[in-house]
């Protein structure tokens, strides 16, 4: 049973517009979330994180929103750039604080 879900396998966005990637989780004990970006032939790289004591965290063009009651988080990229084209993974720190439970990923394509 997937504890972290990303229901959109892919997303295409025009350059300069907003990209919104969504993530849902089922375990209410999760309290720390991250987004990773992965290019082909590379390992995942950390993008942005959020703790459950916050509902928003912003870093440059990237903003993550957390809705704890809905067990939902989203990543907003504004403005989107072609270099943002990658697979984005949502991850939650597991109950023991040891490792991450990853979603299946969403492939973002930013079209010039």
In the complex, the residues that contact other proteins under the rule CB under 8 A are: 4, 6, 9, 32, 34, 36, 41-46, 49, 89, 91, 94, 96, 98-105
The encoded tokens of residue 88 equal 């984005």
3-state secondary structure of 46: strand
Q: Which is nearer to other proteins, 5 or 72 (CB)?
A: 5
Minimum CB–partner distance for residue 107 and other proteins (Å): 10
Among 100, 84, 69, 92, CA closest to 21:
84
Q: Which is nearer to other proteins, 86 or 101 (CB)?
A: 101
Q: Which is nearer to other proteins, 4 or 110 (CB)?
A: 4
Q: Which is nearer to other proteins, 40 or 83 (CB)?
A: 40
3 cis-preceded (ω within 30 degrees of 0)? no
What number of helices (H) and strands (E) belong to the chain?
0, 11
Among 28, 85, 92, 104, CA closest to 64:
92
């Amino acid at each position: 049973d997937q504890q972290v879900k990303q229901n959109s396998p892919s997303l295409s966005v025009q350059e300069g517009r907003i990209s919104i990637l969504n993530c849902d989780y089922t375990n209410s004990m999760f309290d720390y979330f991250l987004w990773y970006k992965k290019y082909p032939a590379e390992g995942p790289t950390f993008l942005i994180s959020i703790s459950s004591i916050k509902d928003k965290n912003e870093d440059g063009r990237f903003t993550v929103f957390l809705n704890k009651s809905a067990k939902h988080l989203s990543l907003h990229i504004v403005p989107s750039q072609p270099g943002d084209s990658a697979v984005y993974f949502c991850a939650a720190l597991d109950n023991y604080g040891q490792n991450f439970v990853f979603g299946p990923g969403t492939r973002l394509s930013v079209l010039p």
